[in-house]
Structure 1
Amino acid sequence: MRDHDALWQPLQVGPVSLKNRVVVTPHALAYGRDNLMTQQSVDYYEERAKGGAGLILTEAQVVHPSSRGMMLRTLQSWPTEVIPVYERLAKAVHKHGAKVFVDLSHFGAEDNNTMHLDNWRSLWSASGLPSPTYGEIPRPMTEEDIAELVAGFGRSARNAAVAGMDGAEVHAAHGYLLCSFLSPLTNRRTDAYGGSTENRCRIVIECAQAVRKEMPAGEFAVGVRLSLDEFVAGGIEPDEGERILRTMDESGLFDYFSVSGGAALTFHRTVSPMSIPGTPLVDLAMRAKKIVDKPILTANGIADLETANGIVERGDADLVAMTRAHIADPHLVSKAQTGREDEIRHCVGGNQGCFSRMAKGWSLTCTQNPAAGREAELGLGTLEHVTEPRTIVVVGGGPAGMRAAETAASRGHRVVLFEQSDELGGQIRYAAKLPTRGRWAAMVSDMERTLDKFKVDVRLGTAATVETIAAEDPHHVVLATGSSWRTDGYLAAVGNHGGIPGLEHTTVLDPITAIEEPERAGKRVLVIDETGEYLALGLAERLAADGREVEVVSTRMFLGDNTVLYLDLAHLYPRLHAAGVTLSPQHAVFQVTPEGAVVGRIWDGRTRVVPVDSVVTVAMRDPECSLAGQLRGRLPFTQVGDCVAPRKVDEAIYEGETTGRAV
């Protein structure tokens, strides 16, 4: 057991005593109904309290009907109907010795004014400037609007206090409504709420005063979340962030400060993707520590306990948010405290199950942890151990097969896993070899340790056949045989179901081969991408880094459009441009001739010839399901992952988990 003593020290935050320094900060769950949290929400938070977190903050709770938020399931805190669910939440969290604060928010212009048919309205903002995310032009708030907002903060805080919650955090960061007042970039007002730092802070202070007015004296903590740097020229820059922090501290209203960074335009720096190593916002917390004598909470990228402990031990911050780490493993604290740190599942920073789903308005889950959001079905204590162990054979050592094997074995079954290659991990193993994708390897390592713990009989370099499977006399077979990339150039968007004519005139590679044997790509490489994912662009970056001329062609509106949802694109594009990669969206390869690839615009068919030494096709995958046909009628089996239909690793792990529980 590693020593993380600094993390386990209690901390007094105003009138509230926290048992340790580990925090789960606000993040969108989207489990609500009728604008209220549900039992699903309570179950989610309780699991993290049960796992040992000291403080949990709810997802954003909007304080006024003018903010219905970016998602259909935005939650409200101002009506009294929230009190019963807040009571259930407080009791559930307190049962495990944790504290729970409510996050009080208003999204301002970061909203859609006509999303809800019963709530069309003009959006509120400091100065009527549109959101860079949604582009809708809001209206500047009047003094009457401000008075309503302030009252909404007070009502919401009263509801939380009546329900037994422990505190409230005033959200004034990340480009939302209160932040639009704080930022000189978005606050152009000339009244008492604009101009000087003190004036721009006025609305936040008034909201906090309303919260304080409704609180039981000496029982309820109040904090504020601030972007100390918006990373936008003309916005809140560090010196101005420090002035804002001093003004807030001098008000005497706040028991702690949650120090963050970023705005709507720079949210990729608020929640770092896999490509950004380390803890990029800790330096802002360190600045805050020199200014105020109140507990400072830092967030973003704190994925392991060793890093978290170091931050507290050095005095860089007093509290550490391990939010995505707790999505991936809600029990990481209790595992560490009981000598089971090697059992922790690590957040890989892919932002697939969490942030990208939030951006689409979908309910949160986790690539690594399909129990996230499904605590009642898959959470701690729901795994049924078998009374009669059976033999289970798993074919395929990718994510789906590994998860099925470890889950079945953890229930008490004898499990044999056949993997035809010499390593486990499947296509994730290759993804981890691309630039900035090394953290995918942590997922494979986590599952390898669990397979070893539960004594799964792993047979590498062994291609399974009907005969070798039958020789184990299995009760059930799990087929996780994956998928393979096509190299015929099939492009659904242009209907060339026969593939690209003339590919025999060049070397054609699938992405796995290009990763493993880049020398076969030659000097001039054309990558065809129809996925919109990171793979094609990461491969292009890797090939260009070796001095190759690389162009990426796609029929999509822009290259890597799905990586926007993972917060990767803003980090990835500068690297691609620096590497000299040519990006050609809205184009297709119509044919290949001895002179080169004929690349044309999809709208008018205008073409050009690109000399190439190779074409890499990142477009279509076929499921590998031949073994299913051979087993049918002979042995009972279940297919999981890509051999059912090629999809993402999220689905593979979920299906592996649920199948491992069912066999």
Structure 2
Amino acid sequence: MTKHSALWQPIELGPVSVKNRIVVTAHALMYGDKDNLMTQQSIDYYEERAKGGAGLILTEAQAVHATSRGLGYRTHQGWKTDVIPVYERLAEAVHRHGAKIFVDLSHFGVEDYNGMFLDNWRALWSPSGLPSTTYGEIGRAMTRKDIDELIAGFGRSARNARVAGIDGAEVHAAHGYLLCSFLSPLTNRRTDEYGGSTENRCRIVRECAEAVRREGGPDFAVGVRLSLIEYTPGGIDEAEGEKIAKNLADSGLFDYFSISAGNASTFDRVVSPMSIPGAPLVELASRAKKVVGNLPVVTANGITELSVAEQIVTSGDADLVAMTRAHIADPFLIEKAQNGREDEIRHCVRANQGCIGRMSKGWELTCTQNPAAGREKTLGSASFRPASTPRKVLVIGGGPAGMRAAESAASRGHEVVLMERGDRLGGQIRYAAKLTTRGRWSVMIEDMERMLDKFKVDVRLNTTADVDSVRAVGADHVILATGSTWRTDGFSASVAARPSIPGWDGIRVLDPIEAIENPAACGNSVVIVDDTGEYLALGLAELLATKGKKVEVVSSKLFLGDNTLFNLDVGHLYPRLYALGVTLTPQHIVGEVNSNGVVINRIWDGAARVIPADSLVTVMLRDSDTTLLPVLEAQFDVTSVGDCLAPRRVDEAIYEGEMAGRGI
């Protein structure tokens, strides 16, 4: 019997047959053009996932009315007839691989960007004139005319999709978007037929679905996406969510239910970060199945393993399983599993850096593990080319950049040697994986180690490269991936005019790796200085605090760990830190170290405070390790990648490793 056979069974979603139980749900790509239309870049992205075996793919949000513009030109407008030729190309691309494609029909309501462009200012639509929880802008309560326009927009958008050959549509009534805000008793305070009871609050969703059903026709599937719970006091709770689901199921308008959770203020429940383990929303899908009759139910969020997806289906908790981020990381995970190559799958680590973290900033989607995401035309499966002339390649450094460079080169037929001075591969990611809740970073290392083994890379651990050892390999090309080292000299990016902090040599100073490896060396009272705004300083504070140490984190930034806001970890990390007694002190710099301790100064007026401390841990600047570069460049063909080129995130390191291997 084929492994995971329960997942490969077809299922009927109304008039549409889907070949397996794996779904790629709607997620923002940010590849739109200046006319707010889907681009060929988007089509290439979706086709790659269809080619890899996904049964059902949902487009990113297709706005149903001109009042929903999202991130300016990046948000697609599904109501425009101009979209029909684009949809035709999309349907053809996805269908050629046996997958089905549905459009996600949405309106963002007040959870929208207003005024990004000068010709885009408008009053945002809402049920009751309440403000956005994301942007704070107060919307205006929709009139009956507005509601009629919205309903017509859903119908018009469905018609565009149907005539283009799209298979169905999902009415997006989740995540705090406009229809969800009508469903929620927290945001719907209306006293007309669209407010009050569950029946009334569901009315607008039913009427929008009626328009989609009417304009889509009998062969067009219609589903609905719901937040069964908002995780917000006064909002939709589980009991109310079940009542909503039953009301909509009893309408007979929907062919399936896609069950999610959360709203704009609890979006971490939609795209859970590493801080939330497992598949947290499966129980909600199971609850929904009990009230929607025989209608198929989709579950989503955090499901990265096919074995977990199979368990969900066989247990009856859901009929289909969304593996959306898993498909961003590896669009061919199904094809690999079905062909006995499951050990080649690249797994989503749920870092939320390339996907939701970039989308939150209005940037195009990519992926930490998969630099081909969004670059399918140049880096996708069709772009693979074996080396015309196999060469011998030496990679120096076994961090993510070096590992990916070695794999990329070896996969093309080159003979590759990888030298790593330590006793393990993984570089600084190995240390990140030791932080609380960060264990999934090790999954990325394990994925790459398996691929190095598959392509027979000659991995030499405990080997320090020098000119003689490089020459002995006899390489035609050298890839330098020697990484970076943390500075402990007190030089701060936030006080760049000062070469060092006075008295710095009067206290024990450690870099983050030293502190992770040997917490005892930090003493009992620790000050962590952070210039990065990343997870590391706060994750290190948590690690040290769990070992009983008194920890204070100091940063010149407006708040600590500002980038954790974008990857959705902040709402989980901060409570853990406060529960452990960690002191967070933003808007301060270290002014000096003296016999009383670490003196910090408020950046606005210089006001000083002394922190008694046994040690300082500097999460500040890093220096590229380029010691070998000049001497190697004089004798060999050399490419530098990753932190030794410039200290950045692992995303850039893996991308540059991939490109270096392709460039030989």
- Give the TM-score of the pair, scaled to structure 1: 0.99
Q: Does 1:127 align with 2:128?
A: yes
> What does 1:144-293 align with in structure 2 at a 5 Å threshold?
144-217=145-218, 219-292=219-292, 293=294
After superposition, the C-alpha distances for 1:334-390 in whole angstroms (9 at most, x for unaligned) are 100000000000000000000011001111000000000011111113121123211
Name stretches of at least 5 consecutive residues in structure 1 with no aligned partner: none
2: CA distance, partners of 1:390 / 1:570 = 49
Q: Residue 339 of structure 1 aligns to which amino acid in structure 2?
A: G
Separation in 1, partners of 2:489, 2:407: 36
Per-residue deviation, 1:311: 0.3
Q: How far apart in 1 are the matches of 2:105 and 2:422?
A: 52
Contact 2:261 2:269 (8 Å CA) reproduced: yes
Question: How big is the shift at 1:274?
Answer: 1.1
What is aligned with 1:82?
A: 83
Aligned pairs, number: 662
Amino acid at match of 1:206: E
1:287-306 mapped onto 2 (5 Å cutoff): 287-292=287-292, 293-306=294-307
Deviations 1:389-434 (A, max 9, x none): 1100100000000000000000000001110000000000110000
Give distance in 1, aligned partners of 2:599 and 2:613.
10
> Does the aligned pair in 1 maintain the 2:2–2:338 contact within 8 Å?
no
Q: Equivalents in 2 of 1:557, 1:416: separation in Å? A: 45
Contact 1:490–1:496 under 8 Å retained in 2 = no
List, as ranges, runs of 4+ consecutive aligned residues in structure 1 with deviation greater than 4 Å.
none
Is 1:44 matched with 2:52? no
Q: Deviations over 1:474-519 (max 9, x none)?
A: 1110000100000012222233531211122111000000001111
Q: Which residue of 2 aligns with 1:31?
A: 31
Who is 1:644 aligned against?
Answer: 645
What is the alpha-carbon distance in structure 1 between the residues aligned to residue 169 and residue 109 of structure 2?
19
Query: 1:631-654: CA deviations, max 9, x gaps?
Result: 122111010000111000000000
> 2:109 corresponds to which letter in structure 1?
G
Structure 2: which amino acid aligns with 1:12? Answer: E
- For 1:165-221, what per-residue CA distance to the aligned partner results, in whole angstroms no more than 9, with x for missing partners? 00000000000001110000000101111111111111111100111111222x110
Tell me if structure 2 keeps the 8 A contact 1:70–1:110.
Answer: no
User: Equivalent residue for 2:331?
Assistant: 330
- Report how far residue 530 of structure 1 moved: 0.7
Query: Alignment identity in percent?
Result: 68
Q: Describe how 1:370-409 pairs up with structure 2 within 5 A.
A: 370-409=371-410
Any idea what SS the aligned residue of 1:103 has?
A: strand
Query: How many angstroms does 1:467 deviate by?
Result: 1.3
Q: Is the 8 A contact 1:20 1:54 kept in 2?
A: yes
Native 8 Å contact 1:549 1:580 kept in 2:
yes
1:428 partner amino acid: I
> Is the contact between residue 407 and residue 661 of structure 2 (CA under 8 Å) also seen in structure 1?
yes
C-alpha distance in structure 2 between counterparts of 1:575 and 1:553, whole Å: 17
Shift of 1:657: 0.3
Which residue matches 2:100?
A: 99
CA contact (8 A) 1:112 1:136 kept: no
Instruction: Map residues 243-642 of structure 1 onto 2, 5 A cutoff.
Output: 243-292=243-292, 293-642=294-643
CA distance in 2, matches of 1:125, 1:373: 33
Asked if 1 retains the 8 angstrom alpha-carbon contact of 2:399 and 2:428, the reply is: yes
Separation (CA, whole Å) in 1 of partners of 2:656 and 2:73: 27
In the alignment, does 2:144 pair up with 1:143?
A: yes
Instruction: Report the Cα offset of residue 111 of structure 1.
Output: 0.9
Q: Report the residue type matching 1:229 in the other structure.
A: I
Q: Which residue matches 2:657?
A: 656
C-alpha deviation, 1:71, in angstroms: 4.9
- Does the CA-based 8 Å contact 1:71-1:361 persist in structure 2? no
**Root-mean-square deviation (CA), in Å?**
0.9
Deviates more, 1:496-505 or 1:10-19: 496-505
Take 1:70 and 1:105, find their aligned partners in 2: how far apart are those partners? 14
Q: Which amino acid aligns with 2:311?
A: G
Cα distance in 1 between the residues matched to 2:2 and 2:176: 39
C-alpha separation between the residues in 2 aligned to 1:2 and 1:520?
A: 52
1:79-113, CA deviations, whole angstroms, 9 ceiling, x for partnerless residues? 11000110111111111110000000000001122
Q: Deviations over 1:115-151 (max 9, x none)?
A: 1222211100011111111000110000000000000
What amino acid sits opposite 2:287 in the alignment?
R
1 CA distance for matches of 2:117 and 2:83? 20
8 Å CA contact retained: 1:271, 1:301: yes
Q: State the one-letter code of the partner of 2:255.
A: D
Whether the 8 Å contact between 2:72 and 2:117 is mirrored in structure 1 is: no
TM-aligned CA distance change 1:8 to 1:186, over 3 Å = same
TM-score, length-scaled by structure 2 = 0.99
Gaps of 5+ in 2: none
SS in 2 for 1:346: coil
Tell me if the contact between 1:527 and 1:618 (Cα under 8 Å) persists in the aligned partners: yes
CA deviations over 1:221-267 (Å, ceiling 9, x no partner):
00000100000010000111011111101111000001110001100
Q: How far apart are the structure 2 equivalents of 1:390 and 1:495? A: 44
Letter in 1 for 2:640: Q
Opposite residue 457 of structure 1, the aligned amino acid is D
Q: In 2, Cα distance between the equivalents of 1:611 and 1:71?
A: 50
SS of the residue aligned with 2:82? Answer: helix
- Label 1:626 to 1:344 Cα distance change in 2 as closer, same or farther (>3 A): same
Matched letter for residue 523 of structure 2: G
**2:409 aligns to what SS in structure 1?**
helix
Aligned partner letter, 2:524 = K
Q: Which amino acid in the other structure matches residue 32 of structure 2?
A: G
CA distance in structure 1 between the aligned counterparts of 2:606 and 2:8, rounded to whole angstroms: 64
CA distance in 1, matches of 2:663, 2:385: 9
In 1, the alpha carbon distance for the partners of 2:394 and 2:297 equals 51
Alpha-carbon separation, structure 1, partners of 2:486 and 2:206: 57
- Structure 2 match to 1:67: 68
Distance in 1 separating the partners of 2:157 and 2:564? 36
**SS in structure 2 opposite 1:626?**
coil
Contact 1:102 1:165 in 2 (8 A): yes
What secondary structure, in the 3-state scheme, does the structure 2 residue paired with 1:363 have? coil
**Alpha-carbon distance in structure 2 between the residues aligned to 1:495 and 1:365:** 32
Give the AA of the match of 2:266. T
Aligned-partner residue type, residue 438 of structure 2: R
Give the Cα–Cα distance (whole angstroms) in 2 for the partners of residues 55 and 387 of structure 1: 37
